[in-house]
């Protein structure tokens, strides 16, 4: 860290949401011409830190200093005006407007008081070129672009404002490998030109490649700042989780499972997002889905659950061919499938409804007679689940929105356990959850597997895949490119398979070309 | 982010609505001492019962996050078809009421199908159904006022008083209301309605029969609107064109003033009861005060806005 | 031509409405006993322009992901006010016109302010304000009557040399002066933005309140224009709840037929104009084909239902059922 005046500083910043402390005594020091990586688990406060910096939320306490002078950003507009641009995960693009309209949304070029469309288009083309995204047509409507293109537009939009500080909040999660490389080149060039970059990511290898400085946060507090490369991977992880992480995962059964598969998939296809997927999973197995984000893992789970239309191929459950026509038939006793969805707030729970009401939803039919809910049976089932999962709630009638993220996720899992599923699909279940609850979930999954359930588990966290899964199917571009079994599941193997880089082991499909 | 006061909020609008009812009664009594008399109040409750039936159906649909704009002509369908059946011999006369209700249920079923399966926004589909219902009725009556009369039973239900001088219509509303409270609070159907209104996506992913429930709710709304039409025809002994027009806006207003969130997912039937009584009293006070129609409309609208500003505001987006 | 492809994709709703209208109108004039004569076209145009203006007003609010149930009542209010004020010599008439337009602006502003600062939902707000506007209209014109400057009225509702209905020219003028500049301005784009995704608009620094208020104000202005034109056609003012209600509901249908999304953020007032013309032509078509007048309302209703259903049917092509939910 230089002795010069930092471009931007945060000191003693605190922010609470309701009763939850998101940030406390948080510090940050950003220098011009350097890429600063922000590390921490989900819930460490990184997102809140960024939101305060970009004016989306206001801090409860603490100071922000830009060029040594105290600043406050009451809105995103004011932060932008001060030269701070934040690249979100597509949250700030307006779907029905064109790429050019989005890039120039604030302060477009004008002629006679109206928007000068030609000048705006040139401006957009220049911004796209600077971001390495020349292939995107400026008149295309954002809603028609795939996620990776949208992210590039978001990057172009941020760069177009010629910011002094650029913040990237997991901005590369949806990008293809080629895009990532391009973006990195752009970022390094900007850094050399004097831009200060704040980079949040979970991907250690990205941070290794990009960062000059690193800061670690944990539980809303600043833990340490250091120059990149001066700490070992172990040290960094330990700083992030606050303890040795080897105890986090329950032990895996040593013997590979044998017997008839509970779930067999053959030649599964869906639009261009799922390509000829085949695999089998046996009772008692925890099968992981790995690979970079957006390679079809979510779609595979949705396809199995019956949410996607136009899925071709065979899905065989317990020896019988099934075509789940939707969640209702998937959860029925014949298939007994459950899906813990991606976003608990919009897909897993009804936040204003009570904990009790949320818990009983999938099992409603079994708790009722001729449509009338049996209150005694309901109470029984609910109490059992709360105990089994150790759900912490003041009482069962408070809205589920009042619970912590971890407890909310427990409610989502509990409600599905009530229908006694035999195949459990999980879509990134521990995202945004504290470490303690994560551990509980890992223990629960292993217990369920030991009791005979088949678990298919998508996670963006390599450690989870390594720690929990008996097997991992690595996906790339909608197909399974590699299957790792037992001891083969290492971070190295996962990463290299994710980028479709042949690391010397036999590739499962045999023929797949390197991307 | 969280709404720990959710339960308190359910009570607040209902309390506010009942408070306003009391306020209106007091204001009315200043104009005329007979305002607080049991006879007058019972009469108000009788009039309120018609609106109450319609508002019940509307509430079910609003709880889903939808709306039913077909009320005006489905009410008329109920009135006209039941009086028509009355003229079709003894069997027709006996079945007049169920026939009228069934016609309404069929219209509601079609609306429900359009919303649940064709995913057409309910605002526009029920608008279309309203036009179709109007078309059907114009066709049937030849554009004239229908000559059919209501049955004795219809008249009895709408205007008679059997027990303790309480209007029969009120008993009908009470019965429907009790059934609705039970339905919403104790059945899987009711639970699913709230779930859909809160987050249809999550309800779908939980394996709930969302499409079926939406269709049934619209069917109920159609049936209840038609039932109200049947009773209205019983009240005036005949059906007439545009008999349902004055009920659409008050029904929506009653549901909303009773604390049901127009976006769905939240609301209790007690609130709707309060809203219906409130609207009825408001309308009657305005006529008692002999304010002309212009002033009445103005005050009507202003009062609704005023009350909503007090307790109907949406949370500020964070 | 890459550019044309994108323009096409963006405006397909509008273009469809235009196409449907042209076909229907061709059938209509082709089969009308008087053919494509000035009178036929002018009468049709006058009726169409009224609904078109109210549909434009509705479009503005729908673009912000709202709905305005009071447009018909502002229309009626403007009509009644005009029948009082738009009389006398040129100066008085001009003054009358200005006052009527300002009244529309005030009504729109009231709606906007309540929605923005009262944080009430548009549907309930406009439900209530609609009643209020109707009350004022009724106070102005308890019984139908009044008058209007007949020179101005005739000038705007008859024909130009060549047979072009003047009302269409007026409509075109309003589109050029009000809609086109708004569409191309920053605030017009902001209106689309808040309807498309309000959180994204906020993150992008768009002034949400200002855009919303503008939408409601312009909406009120356009409804008032419609009311003025009504006065010019009927030479009187009438506070009719039936007319107001009918225009409100038809404006919603016109907007949907015209390709404007009820969810906000997509569509154009031009589409709504043609949607309005399509609606008006349906009735005329039935007349021309000698349909039993008794069947007309039913036919109109069924066609309306089919039209709006077809518009929403693209949703049935979704591959991921989760996209069906908002």
Handedness of CA A154, A158, A159, A164 (dihedral sign): negative
Map tokens 């999954």 to a residue: A445
Please list every residue in chain B whose beta carbon sits closer than 8 Å to the beta carbon of residue C124: 252-253, 256, 262, 304, 308, 312
Give pLDDT, residue A243: 53
CB atoms within 10 A of CB B13: 26
Interface probe for C, chosen from A73, A99, A105, A163 (most Cβ of C below 10 Å), is A105
Chains with ≥3 CB–CB distances under 8 Å to A: B, C
CB atoms within 10 A of CB B177: 21
Percent of chain A with pLDDT over 70: 90
Give pLDDT, residue A241: 66
- DSSP letter string, A198-262: EEE-S-HHHHHHH-SEEEEEETTEEEEEEETTSS-HHHHHHHHHSS-GGGSSPPPPSSPP-S--S
Burial class (CB in 10 A: 0-12, 13-18, 19+), C7: middle
Give pLDDT, residue A254: 67
pLDDT per residue over A465-488, tens digit each? 888 899 999 998 888 988 998 888
Chain centroid to Cα C182, Å, comes to 16
Give pLDDT, residue A512: 33
Give pLDDT, residue B291: 83
pLDDT along chain B (318 residues), means of 10: 46 82 85 82 92 97 95 95 88 89 97 93 91 90 78 85 86 96 95 95 94 97 96 90 89 92 92 94 85 88 89 56
> B255 touching C, CB under 8 A?
no
Please list every residue in chain B whose beta carbon sits closer than 8 Å to the beta carbon of residue A399: 2-4, 6-7
Burial class (CB in 10 A: 0-12, 13-18, 19+), C91: exposed
* Rounded (10°) angle between helices A405-417 and A435-450: 20
Give pLDDT, residue A169: 81
Q: CA of A206, closest CA in chain C: separation in Å?
A: 26
In the stretch 305-334 of chain A, residues with CB closer than 8 A to chain B read 307, 326-328, 330-331
Nearest to B136 among C119, C298, C322 (CB): C298
Q: CA of B62, closest CA in chain A: separation in Å?
A: 16
Give pLDDT, residue C186: 93
Per-residue pLDDT for A257 more than 90? no
Distances (CA, A) of A35 to A69, A197, B179, C151: 22, 5, 65, 73
pLDDT per residue over A410-445, tens digit each? 999 999 999 999 999 999 898 767 777 888 899 999
List CB contacts of B216: < 8 A, sequence separation 6 or more.
B112, B189
pLDDT per residue over C3-27, tens digit each? 888 888 888 888 888 888 888 888 8
pLDDT per residue over A111-128, tens digit each? 888 999 999 999 999 999
- For the structural domain made of C8-312, what CATH number should be given? 1.10.3470
Please list every residue in chain C whose beta carbon sits closer than 8 Å to the beta carbon of residue A271: 319
**Pairing relationship of beta strands A110-111 and A114-115 according to DSSP bridges:** antiparallel
Position A514 confidence tier, pLDDT thresholds 50, 70, 90: very low
pLDDT per residue over C24-67, tens digit each? 888 887 777 666 677 777 888 888 999 999 999 999 999 999 99
CA angle centred on B52, ends B50 and B55, rounded to 5°: 115
CA B166, CA B160: separation in Å to the nearest integer?
9
Specify which of A500-514, B179-193, C79-93 reaches the highest per-range mean pLDDT: B179-193
Domain chopping of chain A, boundaries: 8-245
Contact B3 A398 (CB under 8 A): no
pLDDT per residue over A185-195, tens digit each? 888 988 898 88
In the numeric block, which tokens belong to residue A316?
């065989």
Residue of A nearest to C203 (CA): A92
Q: Which fold has domain A8-245?
A: Rossmann fold (3.40.50)
Residue A253 near residue A423 (C-beta atoms within 8 A): no
Average pLDDT, chain A: 84
Handedness of CA B253, B259, B263, B266 (dihedral sign): negative
Residue A213 near residue A31 (C-beta atoms within 8 A): yes
More confident residue, A65 or A259: A65
Give pLDDT, residue A295: 81
CB atoms within 10 A of CB A134: 11
Nearest to C256 among B67, B124, B134 (CB): B124
3-state helix, strand, coil in chain A (%, to 5): 35, 25, 40
CB atoms within 10 A of CB A301: 24
pLDDT per residue over C141-187, tens digit each? 998 988 888 888 888 877 777 778 889 999 999 999 999 999 999 99
Please choose, from the candidates B194, B66, B210, B76, the residue with its C-alpha nearest in 3D space to the C-alpha of residue B125: B66
CB atoms within 10 A of CB A238: 15
Please choose, from the candidates B51, B28, B75, the residue with its C-alpha nearest in 3D space to the C-alpha of residue B275: B51
pLDDT per residue over A46-77, tens digit each? 878 888 998 888 888 888 999 888 999 998 88
User: What's the DSSP call for residue A66?
Assistant: E
Residue B255 near residue B100 (C-beta atoms within 8 A): no
Please choose, from the candidates B110, B86, B114, the residue with its C-alpha nearest in 3D space to the C-alpha of residue B100: B86
* Rounded (10°) angle between helices C241-257 and C38-63: 80
Domain chopping of chain C, boundaries: 8-312
CA B109, CA B226: separation in Å to the nearest integer?
13
Please list every residue in chain B whose beta carbon sits closer than 8 Å to the beta carbon of residue A326: 204, 207
Give pLDDT, residue A509: 37
Query: Quick one: average pLDDT of C216-227?
Result: 97
* Rounded (10°) angle between helices B269-288 and B248-257: 120
Q: CA of C87, closest CA in chain B: separation in Å?
A: 24
pLDDT per residue over A353-390, tens digit each? 999 999 999 999 999 988 899 999 999 999 999 999 99
Give pLDDT, residue A89: 65
CA B89, CA A302: separation in Å to the nearest integer?
57
pLDDT per residue over C88-118, tens digit each? 888 888 999 999 999 999 999 999 999 999 9
Interface probe for C, chosen from B64, B305, B310 (most Cβ of C below 10 Å), is B305
Position A493 confidence tier, pLDDT thresholds 50, 70, 90: confident
- DSSP letter string, A303-350: HHHT-BSS-EEEEEETTEE----SHHHHSSTTT-EEEE-S-IIIII--
Give pLDDT, residue A242: 62
Per-residue pLDDT for A255 more than 50? yes
> B39 touching C, CB under 8 A?
no
Chain centroid to Cα C63, Å, comes to 13
């Amino acid at each position: 860290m230089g002795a010069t005046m930092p471009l931007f500083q945060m000191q003693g910043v605190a922010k609470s949401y309701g009763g939850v402390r998101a940030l406390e005594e948080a510090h940050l020091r950003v220098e011009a011409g350097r890429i600063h990586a922000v590390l921490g688990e989900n819930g460490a406060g990184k997102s809140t830190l960024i939101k305060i910096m970009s004016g989306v939320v206001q801090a409860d306490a603490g100071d922000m200093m830009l060029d040594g002078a105290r600043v406050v950003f009451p809105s995103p507009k004011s932060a932008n005006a001060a030269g701070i641009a934040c690249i979100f995960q597509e949250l700030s693009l307006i779907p029905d407007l064109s790429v050019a309209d989005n890039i120039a949304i604030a302060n477009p070029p004008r002629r006679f008081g109206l928007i000068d469309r030609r000048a705006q288009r040139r401006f957009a083309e220049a911004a796209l070129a600077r971001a390495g995204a020349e292939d995107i047509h400026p008149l295309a409507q954002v809603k028609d672009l795939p996620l990776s293109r949208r992210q590039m537009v978001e990057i172009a939009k941020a760069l177009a404002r010629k910011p002094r500080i650029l913040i990237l909040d997991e901005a590369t999660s949806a990008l293809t490998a080629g895009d990532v490389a391009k973006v990195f080149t752009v970022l390094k060039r900007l850094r050399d030109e004097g831009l200060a970059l704040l980079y949040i990511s979970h991907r250690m290898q990205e941070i290794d490649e990009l960062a000059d400085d690193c800061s670690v946060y944990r539980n809303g507090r600043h833990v340490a700042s250091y120059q990149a490369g001066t700490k070992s991977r172990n040290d960094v992880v330990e700083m992030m989780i606050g303890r040795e992480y080897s105890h986090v995962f329950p032990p895996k059964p040593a013997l590979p499972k044998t017997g008839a598969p509970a779930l067999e998939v053959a030649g599964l296809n869906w639009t261009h997002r799922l390509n000829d997927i085949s695999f089998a999973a046996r009772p008692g197995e925890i099968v992981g889905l790995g690979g970079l984000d957006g390679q079809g893992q979510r779609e595979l789970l949705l396809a199995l659950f019956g949410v996607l239309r136009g899925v071709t191929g065979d899905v065989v459950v317990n020896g019988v061919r099934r075509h789940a026509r939707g969640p209702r038939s998937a959860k029925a006793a014949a298939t007994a499938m459950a899906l813990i969805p991606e976003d608990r707030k919009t897909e897993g729970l009804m936040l204003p409804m009570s904990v009790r009401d949320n818990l009983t939803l999938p099992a409603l039919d079994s708790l009722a007679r001729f449509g009338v809910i049996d209150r005694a049976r309901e109470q029984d089932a609910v109490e059992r689940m709360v105990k089994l999962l150790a759900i912490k709630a003041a009482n069962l009638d408070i809205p589920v929105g009042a619970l912590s993220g971890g407890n909310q996720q427990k409610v989502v899992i509990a409600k599905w356990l009530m229908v006694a599923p035999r195949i459990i699909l999980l879509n990134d279940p521990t995202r945004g959850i504290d470490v303690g609850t994560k551990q509980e979930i890992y223990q629960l999954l292993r217990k369920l597997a030991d009791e005979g359930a088949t678990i298919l588990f998508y996670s963006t966290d390599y450690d989870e895949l390594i720690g929990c899964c008996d097997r991992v199917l690595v996906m790339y571009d909608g197909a399974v490119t590699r299957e790792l079994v037992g001891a083969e599941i290492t971070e190295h193997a996962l990463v290299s398979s994710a980028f479709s880089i042949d690391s010397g082991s036999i590739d499962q499909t045999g023929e797949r070309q390197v991307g | 982010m969280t709404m720990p006061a959710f339960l308190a909020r359910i009570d607040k609008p209902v309390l506010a609505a009942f408070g306003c009812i009391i306020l209106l009664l007091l204001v009315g009594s200043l104009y005329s001492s007979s305002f607080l008399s049991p006879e007058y109040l019972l009469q108000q409750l009788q009039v309120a019962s018609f609106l109450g039936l319609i508002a019940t159906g509307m509430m079910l649909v609003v709880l889903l996050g939808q709306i039913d704009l077909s009320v005006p002509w489905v009410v008329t369908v109920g009135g006209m078809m039941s009086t028509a059946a009355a003229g079709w011999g003894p069997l027709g006369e006996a079945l007049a009421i169920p026939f009228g209700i069934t016609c309404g249920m069929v219209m509601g079923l079609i609306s429900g199908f359009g919303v649940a399966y064709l995913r057409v926004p309910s605002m526009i589909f029920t608008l279309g159904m309203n036009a179709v219902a109007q078309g059907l009725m114009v066709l049937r009556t030849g554009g004239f006022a229908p000559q059919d009369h209501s049955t004795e039973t219809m008249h009895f239900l709408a205007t008679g008083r059997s027990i303790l001088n309480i209007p029969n219509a009120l008993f009908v509303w009470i019965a429907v209301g009790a059934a609705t409270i039970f339905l919403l609070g104790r059945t899987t159907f009711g639970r699913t309605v709230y779930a859909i209104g809160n987050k249809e996506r999550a309800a779908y992913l939980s394996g709930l029969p969302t499409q079926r429930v939406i269709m049934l709710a619209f069917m109920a709304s159609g049936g209840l609107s038609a039932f109200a039409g049947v009773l209205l025809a019983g009240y005036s002994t005949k059906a007439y064109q545009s008999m349902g027009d004055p009920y659409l806006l008050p029904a929506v207003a009653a549901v909303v003033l009773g604390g049901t969130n127009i976006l769905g997912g939240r609301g209790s039937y007690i609130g709707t009861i309060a809203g219906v009584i409130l609207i009825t009293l408001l309308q009657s006070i305005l006529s008692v005060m002999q304010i002309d129609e212009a002033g009445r409309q103005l005050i009507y609208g202003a009062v609704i806005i005023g009350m909503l500003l007090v307790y109907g505001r949406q949370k500020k987006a964070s | 031509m890459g550019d044309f492809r994108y323009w096409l994709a963006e405006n397909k709703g509008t273009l469809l409405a235009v196409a449907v209208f042209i076909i229907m109108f061709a059938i209509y004039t082709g089969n009308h006993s008087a053919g494509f004569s000035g009178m036929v076209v002018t009468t049709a145009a006058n009726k169409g322009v009224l609904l078109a203006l109210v549909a434009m007003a509705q479009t503005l609010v729908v673009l912000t992901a709202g709905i305005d149930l009071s447009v018909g009542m502002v229309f009626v209010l403007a009509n009644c006010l005009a029948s009082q004020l738009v009389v006398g010599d040129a100066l008085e008439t001009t003054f009358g016109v200005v006052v009527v337009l300002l009244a529309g602006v005030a009504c729109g502003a009231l709606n906007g302010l309540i929605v923005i600062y009262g944080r009430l939902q548009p549907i309930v707000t406009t439900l209530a304000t609609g009643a209020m506007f109707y009350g004022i209209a009724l106070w102005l014109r308890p019984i139908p009557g009044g008058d209007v400057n007949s020179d101005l009225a005739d000038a705007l509702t008859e024909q130009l040399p060549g047979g072009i209905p003047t009302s269409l020219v007026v409509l075109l003028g309003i589109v050029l002066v009000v809609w086109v500049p708004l569409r191309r301005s920053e605030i017009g784009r902001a209106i689309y933005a808040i309807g498309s995704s309000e959180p994204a608009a906020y993150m992008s620094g768009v002034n949400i309140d200002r855009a919303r208020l503008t939408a409601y104000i312009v909406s009120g202005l356009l409804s008032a224009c419609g009311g003025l034109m009504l006065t010019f056609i009927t030479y009187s003012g009438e506070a009719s709840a039936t007319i107001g209600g009918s225009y409100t509901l038809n404006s919603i249908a016109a907007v949907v037929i015209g390709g404007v999304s009820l969810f906000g953020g997509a569509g154009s007032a031009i589409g709504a104009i043609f949607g309005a013309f399509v609606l008006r032509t349906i009735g005329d078509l039935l007349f021309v084909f000698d349909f039993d007048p008794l069947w007309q309302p039913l036919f109109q209703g069924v066609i309306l239902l089919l039209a709006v259903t077809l518009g929403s049917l693209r949703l049935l092509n979704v591959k991921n059922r989760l996209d069906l939910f908002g």
